Structure 1
Amino acid sequence: MSSPASPPNTVELDALIVGAGFGGVYQLKHLRDEGYNVKLVDFGGDFGGVWYWNRYPGARVDSDIPQYEFSDESLWKGWQWSQRFPGSAEIREYFAYVADKWDLRKDAEFGVFIAGATWDEETCKWTIVSKCGKQYRAQFFLLNTGFAAKRYTPDWEDIGKFSNWLHPSYWPHEEPDLRGKKIAVIGTGATGIQLAQELSKIASDLVLFQRTPNLCLPMAQVEYQGGEQARPKEQYSGLFDRRQVTYGGFFFDFLDRATFDDTPEQRRKTYQELWDKGDFHFWLATYNDMLFNADANKEAYDFWKAKVRARIRDLKLQEILAPDIQPHSFGCKRVSLENGFYEIFNQPNVSLVDVKTTPIVNVDETGINTTEKHWDLDYVVCATGFDSMTGGLTQIDIRGVSGQSLKDKWKSGVKTYLGMTVVGFPNMFITYGPQAPTAFCNGPTCAEYQGNFTIRTLNAMKSNNFRRIEPKADAEEKWVEKIHDLADASLFPTAKSWYMGDNIPGKTRECLVYLGGVRTFLEALNEEADAGYPNFEKGQSL
């Protein structure tokens, strides 16, 4: 039987990449180098992924340089950063530099929102359709949507009555005039922290609505001068190699001892050294039992609490921001980096609302009503986060072999093999998604390691004349079991967080992240590929 012909306007490809962040950019470059006919599409207007959208005041990366860049020597040799933690505008400049250096623009299409994809078992190809009706047909469907592609806004009563809403991920390209305005920021995740720090400098009144204290760590920002960088570039190759042997894919790793192996004096000294380094050292370069032992975790929290309370004058605010009783296991909700956040509450123009004790009741034309009072506002910034890890994938109507959608398959819980492939969805590869190290691995690291596995798999299929590859059901079941076992051995399930899907009403509560660390994850990828993909069904030779 002959294969059905594509409609005349269908773009025929070997692979279609969705997403123009680090993962998509890496795959476009390297698949093209391997001779594949590949295109990249993204709903944004340029390269950058989440950084194309993140234009809000204070937006910046929270992995320091050079950890947050590609390891390609031809790139880092010619690029200089201006800060240890660059702002979003500089990251967009970096993406433009990469796109030009790798000559990517000719194979990228922007302003394209992928609405659906359907697998055809006869042709072993995906038919992928954009929201505006453009159609692509590709053997491989490569999803690089990232973990924060679908924003979340709570359904407050009468929310539509207030007109000046701003969402950080859709910040206007023409900056709104917020100077001297009465502004609310709802949410104290990483975005809310960054926004509050900046808006406190220009707002006549800033009110921050907090549900749960964010146990922030000091960023320790550094301004670079005259081409100086944090580390000599002669060290870069070795540093990039180190990413594959650490838990978080950073240049640093947990200590080789447990919390109570040290005396109290030694612990205080160690904590202080980690604190002074900034970045995520106090979180992911600390004692190796901090995320697994409740007593060890409390030791870290008590040190953190004393440090933070010393920076806040008001005793009531101290208790809301750094409670005496630990609000949740430290590091088991996403840790944010701050640069003067706690000091803004010493300013007369900044207020804090604890929505656990004074919840939001509704919204009206002039502001927000809580159970305590009405807040008169000019702007409301809704920093309430994302349907993390899964939302960017399930908002696409992806239909596999049986016609079942990915959304329906995951309705009662995510199922993947290696956090990259799904039973019933052949030739589909996910990067920086659920059940991978994603939230504990910075973007460029995961982009390269997961990208290399995807490219290696496609090359193996080509050399063996296979048309389709799909994980085996028992392999998927064992991977899901491993995800849950790793979580249950840790303190993560004790905290409500987007790591567990808690931030989205009705979402299944489960660990969405592989907690075994980058090193063991990379070992699993390499073992699978080295053994010839024994946990995959491969077939339909050309």
Structure 2
Amino acid sequence: MQRTLTYLLRIRRSAMSSESIARKLSAATDVDAVVIGAGFSGLYTVYKLRELGFTLRAFEQGDGVGGTWYWNRYPGAGSDSESWVYCFSFSRELEQEWNWSCRFPPQPEILSYLEYVAERFDLHSAFDFETRVTSARYDETAGHWVVETDHGETVTAEFVITAVGCLSATQVPEIPGRDSFAGNWYHTGQWPKAGVNFTGQRVGVIGTGSSGIQCIPVIAEQADHLTVFQRTPQFSVPAGNVPLTDEQRETLKRNIREIRENCRWATIGQPYDLKDHGVLDVSEEERRRQFEADWAKGGFEWMFGSYNDLLFDKQANDIAADFVREKIRDKVDDPETARKLIPTGYPIGTKRLPLDQGYFETYNRDNVDLIDVREEPIVEIVPAGIRTESRTVELDTIVFATGFDAMTRPLTRIDFRGRSGVKLEEKWAHGPQTYLGVAMADFPNLFMITGPGSPSVLGNMPTSIEQHVEWITDCMAHMREIGAKTIEPTVTAEQEWGEHVGELADATLFPQADSWYMGANIPGKPRVFLPYIGGFGNYRKLCADIAENGYEGFSIS
């Protein structure tokens, strides 16, 4: 029934396309708000703004909704949050009528869900698709934003809300000769809608982060031969993904309100939280029993629903890391391959911890080779494939699973200019400066959903997104009620927030890793811990208190 309804809604959307085009031709160019992006953030923002009676225009670079799940269509792509919390909670009817197929939803299912949400709440009609916002300039004289698109349209708005995603600016390494390659190459974050057929091909995958760990097992099953080029070995834990039974769905739907409320106050926005004791507080036998039980269960709970000292105490972290290293050795048949796959040099959990489905076992296949590029560096890409210091690996296709310029580049690639023409890219030249990760001094009425300095990527994204959207739209409604024109953080509040974010990070093991959390994957990017690590629940309470105290730290005029 669910699939049938989704199909009918798509037919309805196609039938309405002519009407939609006509409506766009007469679309307003002076609105209350402009929204950029049509993923989870953009869809919910449009829903809330309409509910509150704000006029708006919304823009999306792709030709449909989905955000992350529109672009990341690579084999094996899926969520590492459980399906029943990786979704919206604003509609009780929606929670009850949508049925997830399994514990961790795959990309096609998440995209279908977002398309269903957009159709059910008539959100498509708000968006100009295949339209990229190129610039947004604050006009101090007029007191509004001037937004321009790549179609040459100009729209003025009192507010601009960025729903551009934290991981949407792809990073393709500048390997010499890349454009000389005679075959096809793809980035996992810009995957073709039609998919890629690897049957009979010699494939090279560069990168073993989250997307690499997801796509490598699937590609290995299709390709004639797969060569993985690994720079940094990764810790990974089993996903433990399983289909959901009808009984499980009924139980989840019956308890979903309580589950989602727990998410709102948990450390990483998931339906579990850290234990109230550390790994060093229990016996070796007890910690082993608990590690094994959580490992068998699968999912992030192994690390982030576990002992409370793993990310703060190096000795405790080493115990957890050694457990995972042991598991990797057990899974990989060849000792030399296992040696290359063993992570060293950084604490477990301080890089994004992937969930895998048979990743390490993939290296037991006869058609899979692993090249450690620290021991055997890539020299260049040649027409025939990839040349290392010792050989040329002949390839038909190259997959770059090399991640993103996270959190900042999705915003700085748009030419934002605030008061006195200050450019966002220049303001952030030495690292992002925000207040709460939602706003910036000198950029009045510009709100960021899950921007740098917010919890965002450190947990369940829908939990963080809903909190941000609700806080931002409540703020806009408050301004309308009191007749205020502009709101922006004070310089002092922005500076103090940045110091607070840094101090919290420095109290953990996170800065010891060269991760994208630190911007270390981008040459020349300032080394700054980008998200807020104080916990989703603590952050939610702090934001609520700030609003309750008359938006403390903001200047309202």
- TM-score (norm: length of structure 2): 0.93
The answer to whether structure 1 residue 78 and structure 2 residue 97 are counterparts is yes
Deviations 1:108-150 (A, max 9, x none): 1111111100001122211100122111111000001111111
Name the CA distance, whole Å, in 1 between partners of 2:543 and 2:296: 35
TM-fit CA distance, 1:409 = 0.2
The answer to whether structure 1 residue 397 and structure 2 residue 415 are counterparts is yes
The answer to whether structure 1 residue 107 and structure 2 residue 126 are counterparts is yes
2:179 to 150, 157, 160: 160
Letter in 2 for 1:216: S
User: Which residue of structure 1 aligns with residue 10 of structure 2?
Assistant: none
Letter in 2 for 1:70: F
- SS of the residue corresponding to residue 500 of structure 2 reads helix
The answer to whether structure 1 residue 341 and structure 2 residue 365 are counterparts is no
Contact 2:456 2:465 survives alignment (8 Å): no
The answer to whether structure 1 residue 281 and structure 2 residue 297 are counterparts is no
Deviations 1:348-380 (A, max 9, x none): 100011111111000110100011211000000
User: Which residue of structure 2 aligns with residue 5 of structure 1?
Assistant: none
- SS of the residue corresponding to residue 310 of structure 1 reads helix
Name the CA distance, whole Å, in 1 between partners of 2:471 and 2:281: 39
The answer to whether structure 1 residue 449 and structure 2 residue 467 are counterparts is yes
Letter in 1 for 2:43: V
User: Which residue of structure 2 aligns with residue 4 of structure 1?
Assistant: none
1:65 to 79, 83, 99: 83
**Structure 1 gap ranges (5+):** 1-7
The answer to whether structure 1 residue 254 and structure 2 residue 254 are counterparts is no
Equivalent residues in 2 for 1:123-202, closer than 5 Å: 123-163=142-182, 164-202=184-222
Deviations 1:67-112 (A, max 9, x none): 1011121211100011111111111110111112211111111111
Name the CA distance, whole Å, in 1 between partners of 2:552 and 2:500: 18
Letter in 1 for 2:416: I
The answer to whether structure 1 residue 505 and structure 2 residue 523 are counterparts is yes
Percent identity (aligned): 37
Equivalent residues in 2 for 1:21-420, closer than 5 Å: 21-71=39-89, 72-163=91-182, 164-226=184-246, 228-229=248-249, 231-323=251-343, 326-420=344-438
**Structure 2 gap ranges (5+):** 1-25
Name the CA distance, whole Å, in 2 between partners of 1:231 and 1:330: 34
Deviations 1:158-196 (A, max 9, x none): 111004111112211222321110000100111111110
Name the CA distance, whole Å, in 1 between partners of 2:414 and 2:359: 37
Deviations 1:237-261 (A, max 9, x none): 0011111211000001111001111
Contact 2:181 2:381 survives alignment (8 Å): yes
Instruction: Point out 4+ residue stretches in structure 1 off by more than 6 angstroms.
Output: none
Contact 1:10 1:134 survives alignment (8 Å): no
2:493 to 475, 495, 509: 475
TM-fit CA distance, 1:446 = 1.1
Name the CA distance, whole Å, in 2 between partners of 1:232 and 1:54: 28
Residues 45 and 461 (structure 1 numbering): CA distance in 2 closer, same or farther, change over 3 Å? same
Letter in 1 for 2:506: D
TM-fit CA distance, 1:402 = 1.6
Higher share of residues assigned helix: 2
- SS of the residue corresponding to residue 339 of structure 2 reads helix
Letter in 1 for 2:361: E
The answer to which of 62-71 and 494-503 deviates more is 62-71
Contact 2:189 2:403 survives alignment (8 Å): no
Name the CA distance, whole Å, in 1 between partners of 2:372 and 2:218: 21
- TM-score (norm: length of structure 1): 0.96
Letter in 1 for 2:206: I
Letter in 1 for 2:477: N
Letter in 1 for 2:331: R
Name the CA distance, whole Å, in 2 between partners of 1:372 and 1:495: 29
Deviations 1:464-504 (A, max 9, x none): 10110010111001000001101110000000000000000
How many residues align structurally? Answer: 530
- SS of the residue corresponding to residue 221 of structure 2 reads coil
TM-fit CA distance, 1:30 = 1.0
Name the CA distance, whole Å, in 1 between partners of 2:268 and 2:390: 43
Name the CA distance, whole Å, in 2 between partners of 1:238 and 1:267: 29
Name the CA distance, whole Å, in 2 between partners of 1:448 and 1:191: 25
